Amino acid sequence: TPTASVYLAYSERLGRTVALKVLDDAAEPACTERTLAGARLQARLAHPNIVQVLEAEQRDGRTYVAMEPVRGVDLHVRLERGILLADLVNVIGDVARALDHVHAHDIVHRDVTPSNILVRDEGGALLTDFWLAT
């Protein structure tokens, strides 16, 4: 699993606020390539339950992925804090709709885990991190 930090940033090139994922400097080249390939796959998918990738690049030895910012936490955190069954059912439905869209494009995510599902503060869930996708 690639180690990364995510920051809220302003992209002058895009003229908007983004969530900027920066891969750890120590990432193996194969991990960097998988991350960029996954970001390219994710960028091709336009769906309300998939985090939108806006840009992905490698510059000065660092790997960056700019995505839509999501106000919320991942499902792992929500589960630790406690979640109502009805809210969990809604999350599962959102993820199922995202996966249906992904599979319709002949892509397999291969890493659907609570940490790769973001739950918005205002409700709704989004699938992210396609680094293992094929």
CA 109 to chain centroid, in Å, comes to 11
Q: Are 109 and 130 in contact (CB under 8 A)?
A: yes
**Could you tell me which of 133, 27, 1, 127 has the C-alpha nearest to residue 68?**
127
- Whether 121 is a known active-site residue: answer no
Of 74, 94, 106, 111, which residue is the catalytic one?
111
What are the C-alpha distances in Å from 8 to residues 35, 79, 133? Answer: 19, 24, 25
What are the C-alpha distances in Å from 36 to residues 41, 57, 87, 129? Answer: 9, 7, 32, 10
Residues identified as active-site: 111
